[in-house]
Amino acid sequence: MFAIVAFVALAVSANGQNCGEPLSGASGTFASPNYPDRNYPHNSNCQWDIVVASGAKVLLQFSDFALEGPSVFQSGGPCVDYVEIYDLFAPNYFVGKWCGDDKPPIYLSASNNLVVRFVSDWITKDRGFQASYSTFGGPVTTTTATPAACGSPAISPSLARVVGGTTAVANSWPWMASLAKYGAHACGGSLIAPGWILTAAHCFDGASYTSQWTVRLGSHTRESTDSRQQNIGVQRIVVHEGYNGASSSDNDIALLKLNHDATINNYVSPVCVAPGEFPSQTSCYVTGWGDTLGVNFQIVMANQLQQGEVEIIDWNTCNSANWYGGDVSSNMLCAGWPMGQTDACQNDSGGPLVCKSGRKWYQAGVVSWGHGCAQPNKPGVYTDVMKYQSWIQTKMAQYP
């Protein structure tokens, strides 16, 4: 039994047809699946990651736009088929959502990275859309690095469906970090930029001195130093101001500023930070070296990095009376299986829950808490990373 997750790419779900891709040229066009010959498929979930030259901006324009309109079951209801735009380095990273004939306006990004997402439901279909992008301007000063190379492992992970989890392919999750306290693994974390680790605030309850901690990157074996391993000290621990572990697990998120940037290579590279919510039943992966037994009286740590596949569970279901009974806040998400079997556990705390969209992996959650490990109706509860995009950007800019 092991506690971790996996995901079916947001951008490859369109009735078996690929949709969405990384776009890195100076300019280009993209469209919804089947455009313009036929209507787009049901149950599409596509994402385009647009990255232009460093220091430039993305100018986005839609030339045609025809999607199913808002829900007909309620006046002014929500969009059911829609396009979303995310500008990851803008003050308000969620630009907006559009459906029907409400074509998005021309948009100029805040940095060289823009994300466009398209979702359709299982009922009505329409013509779809076509959009184009171009590079605008030249080098500008930005406060944070752009994530052009994030979420793309050089060594492919094995995504075989194994109940209870399995040993990961070495260095196939290159953002995975071991947070060692006084030399011993205590928590997980993820590299989100060369000098920054994302993890859980509760890892630092009673252990808030930087001198206590070392971050291990490129590691596969917990109790020995791997040839590709980088050990880096911690310059600053940034715990969310709203975290209060004594009363709840809300805002269970923290950042570590490293003493120096990690060396980015085939074995160590950052994960992308999720720009939006992944829907329920999305398959994702969680990784860690934590307890593999899940019994209260005995903790058996994994010696090699483990991975486990779990599904995002509907928030209302997870918060229902016979599940967590209202203990899951709006800043949290649940991932696991109704019958248990695979979950994060002790010493997996702070580790990443990642989901694949297109060709990239995005961190959707941070391992936070749960009742036991892999118990029925008691899935892992994760800090919802999407809710903290602005906080992450603000802190990284505050401590350059």
The domain ranges of the chain are: 25-136, 176-268+388-398, 272-386
Peptide bond into 36 cis (omega under 30): yes
pLDDT tens-digit map of 243-256: 987 677 899 999 99
CATH assignment of 25-136?
2.60.120.290
Closest C-alpha to 229, from 178, 155, 302, 303: 178
Do 272-386 and 25-136 have the same topology in CATH?
A: no
- Convert 124-138 to b/e letters by CB count within 10 Å (16 or more is b): ebbbbbbbebeeeee
- Please give the CATH architecture assigned to the domain spanning 176-268+388-398: Beta Barrel (2.40)
Q: Which two tokens stand for residue 127?
A: 């013509």
Q: Which two tokens stand for residue 232?
A: 């880096």
Higher-confidence position of 39 and 72: 39
Number of CB atoms found within 10 A of residue 184's CB: 12
Is 111's pLDDT higher than 60?
yes
Return the pLDDT at 341: 60
pLDDT tens-digit map of 261-270: 999 999 999 9
pLDDT tens-digit map of 306-355: 998 999 999 999 999 999 999 999 999 999 888 766 545 556 889 999 99
Number of CB atoms found within 10 A of residue 392's CB: 21
Q: Which two tokens stand for residue 4?
A: 């971790």
For domain 272-386, say whether CATH 3.20.20.70 is its number.
no
With 0-12 / 13-18 / 19 or more C-beta atoms within 10 angstroms meaning exposed / middle / buried, residue 227 is exposed
**Three-state DSSP state, 227:** coil
Q: Which residues are bridge partners to 335 per DSSP?
A: 312, 380
Higher-confidence position of 215 and 348: 215
Closest C-alpha to 251, from 301, 202, 211, 206: 202
Return the pLDDT at 398: 86
> Of the segments 42-51, 152-161, 168-177, 375-384, which one has the largest average pLDDT value?
168-177
The residues annotated with a catalytic role in the active site are 202, 252, 349
- How much is the pTM? 0.66
- DSSP label at residue 69: -
Return the pLDDT at 196: 96
